[in-house]
Structure 1
Amino acid sequence: MMAKNLRPDSAIYDTFILSFCKQGKISSAFRVLKDMERNGCSRTLQTYNSLISGLGSKGEIFEIYGLMDEMRERGISPDIYTYNNIITALCEGGKANDATSLLHEMLDKGISPNVSTFKILIKAFCKSSDFKVAFEIFEVALSICGHKEVLYSLTCNEFLAGGQLSEAKDLFEASLDRFFTLKDFMYKDLIDKICQDERLDDADYLLHKLIDKGYGFDHSSFMPVIDGFSKRGNKH
């Protein structure tokens, strides 16, 4: 292109920057950025989103904040992808509390968080065993995104993995009442762990609810309940 005196535009440079960032070659991406500016092409929102995503994968939080400041100076407004990339970087860097401030910033600016935003935050707080905050975020997600199956299944499974059996059971029950599909719920593990916790009546209740609601489900779910009652001597 250069040899034919065809000047690349921002879209072409953004393509290279995105590709290098996806490969983790951040220094190469910034070299392209210098060429981009040398040839008179302005940085775009896509440029910043790619660089923030790439820096996030390397845990370069300080540099990300620098890019955010630069965006403000240049009058480029972040979008949902910008915020989601930064929230991901913060959560993966163990700074979930800082990520919630970005959630508030989005809401203040009238940028609606999407399901992905809330999934990132719920997983991060469950990972740090802060289930109270995780559930609060889940409730905010429902108020903004609606009662999405993916929010229920993710939160239920994360609570189950964190040993929050009562909360996981309640979420699963609420999901059955909304007739969500079972494919993304770890309901077999839930029933099994409830039985291990010697809460056989709760496990039995879930089985009957599945039946009453007309669900087709894996019949191996019966086994831990049957075994549990048998060990108690409750043959009937």
Structure 2
Amino acid sequence: MQKHLVPPPRPPPPPRPSAIPIGSPARIQKLIASQPNPLLAIEIFNLASRQSNFHHSYSSFHTLILKLGHTRHFSLMHNLLSRLKAHGYPVAPSLFSYIIRMFKRDVALDVESYRILMQGLCRKSQVNKAIDLLEDMLNKGFVPDTLSYTTLLNCLCRKKLKEAYKLLCKMKVKGCNPDIVHYNTVILGFCREGRAFNACKVLEDMQSNGCLPNLVSYRTLVVGLCNQGMYDEAKSYMKEMILKGLSPHFSIFHALIIGFCNVGKVNEACGMLEEMLRHGEAPHVDTWVEIVPRICEVDETVGMGNLFEEVLKVEIMPDTRIVEAAAGLEEYLIRRIHCRSRVA
């Protein structure tokens, strides 16, 4: 009987030659720069991007963006700028300046185009160039919209408050009446820099120009004044806003209560707390922790009794929580026990 011989297994096929390496980022940059056709240049860029562990250099992005801009492939250039940002590269000032010049040369700019360019400059903290764009815009007969001014004011308020205030004053002359957002932006800028007195001037200006302050205006100003220890002035503005029918936010009462407690004006602090309760605002635990010990130190019985009577009158309102007052009383009692134990 004839035996069937089993053929030996075939040897494995030889390994395919590895793909030709695309080259270094520097080589890709040179290929892109030497390619006269921008569409072929971006194909080279995309081909390299698909290679594993390959990362384009900033020079490759920069070269290709310039090439696309020169040939007015704006949508491709915009996409490449987004990819540049996704790679974590910052846009160099020189590149941004080129893009602005290109838009001025090749694109019919309108108010929206100017605003977009100003927003980009402000994001790069190039506020002087953004101001130059505003002047260029005005010289060409465009009237900037409110959002353009908001963009500039937000940027100026970070470092150049004086210029921000000047711009605010010039807006009406340039054909754009400042609105509540513009005024509140500058008020916040002054308060953030510890210049609440200047913020008061802005509030006066806005009222004389027919723009009524809102809750944000007063809240920013009152808290800013309290941060500088100007509690009596802050209280005056709180009264002003109440007379105008605005209900003070919790943060306003809290800032005044803490402030008056810090300077030893316990009666003023209690008055603020009672006013707070009348407006249906609920004191938080940290408010009670601050004011209850101060009241107890002045008068352990009558003061607290009167205060809790006022609290009970409004406790039926859904937002008030009398139980939180116990935290302040507990803080005081613990403090007294510790003091007595030391004396003993």
TM-score by length of 2: 0.55
Aligned pair count? 224
Superposition deviation, residue 180 in structure 1 = 1.6
Q: Name the structure 2 match of 1:123.
A: 188
Q: Which residue of 2 aligns with 1:44?
A: 110
Map of 1:170 onto structure 2: 236
8 Å CA contact retained: 2:261, 2:269 = yes
Q: Which residue number corresponds to residue 14 of structure 2?
A: none
Q: Which runs of 5+ in 2 are unaligned?
A: 1-38, 40-71, 303-344
What's the offset of the Cα at 1:42? 0.3
Q: Which residue of 2 aligns with 1:191?
A: 257
Instruction: State the secondary structure of the residue aligned to 2:112.
Output: helix
Q: Which residue of 2 aligns with 1:72?
A: 138
1:209 Cα deviation (Å)? 2.1
Instruction: Quote how far apart the aligned CAs of 1:100 are.
Output: 1.7
Structure ranking higher on relative contact order (CA contacts 8 Å, 6+ apart)? 1
Identity %: 19
* CA shift for structure 1 position 92: 1.2
Q: Are residue 230 (structure 1) and residue 285 (structure 2) matched?
A: no
Q: After TM superposition, give the deviation of residue 36 of structure 1 in Å.
A: 5.0
> Using the alignment, how far apart are the partners of 2:115 and 2:153 within structure 1?
12
Listed one character per residue, the Cα deviations across residues 34-76 of structure 1 (whole Å, up to 9, x for unaligned) are: 66567x5301211111221221232223312321232133322
Q: 1:101 aligns with which of 151, 161, 166?
A: 166
One-letter amino acid matched to 1:149: L
Question: What root-mean-square deviation, in Å, do the aligned CA atoms of Structure 1 and Structure 2 show?
Answer: 3.4
Judge which range, 190-199 or 153-162, deviates more. 153-162
Task: Work out whether residues 219 and 248 of structure 2, in 8 Å CA contact, stay in contact via their aligned partners in 1.
Answer: no
CA distance in 1, matches of 2:150, 2:120: 13
Deviation at 1:33, TM superposition (A): 5.1
In the alignment, is the contact (CA less than 8 A) between 2:194 and 2:224 conserved in 1? no
The alpha-carbon distance between structure 1 residues 158 and 30, as it changes in their structure 2 partners (threshold 3 A), is same
CA distance in 1, matches of 2:109, 2:132: 15
2:220 to 147, 150, 154: 154
Aligned counterpart in structure 1 of residue 207 of structure 2, from 142, 163, 167: 142
Asked if structure 2 preserves the Cα contact closer than 8 Å seen for 1:96 and 1:124, the reply is: yes
> What is the distance in 2 between the residues matched to 1:157 and 1:176?
16
C-alpha distance in 2 between matches for 1:105 and 1:194: 39
Residue 153 of structure 2 is aligned to residue 63 of structure 1: no
Aligned residue number for residue 180 of structure 1: 247
- CA distance in 2 between counterparts of 1:139 and 1:26 reads 42
The amino acid that maps onto 2:292 is I
Please say which of residues 133-142 and 186-195 is displaced more in the overlay. Answer: 186-195
Whole-Å separation in 1 of the counterparts to 2:297 and 2:135: 64
1:210 aligns with 2:276: yes
Work out the CA distance in 1 between the residues paired with 2:113 and 2:92: 12
Q: Could you tell me whether the CA contact under 8 Å between 1:229 and 1:235 is conserved in 2?
A: no
Q: Distance in 1 between matches of 2:119 and 2:103?
A: 19
When the two structures are superposed, what TM-score results if normalisation uses the length of structure 1? 0.76
Report how far residue 101 of structure 1 moved: 1.6
2:155 counterpart residue number: 89
Q: How far is 1:158 from its partner? A: 2.1
Partner of 2:46: none
The amino acid across from 1:140 in the alignment is: D
How far residue 135 of structure 1 moved from its aligned partner, in angstroms, is 0.1
* Aligned AA (1:122): I
1:25 shift after superposition:
4.2
Point out the more displaced range, 197-206 or 124-133: 124-133
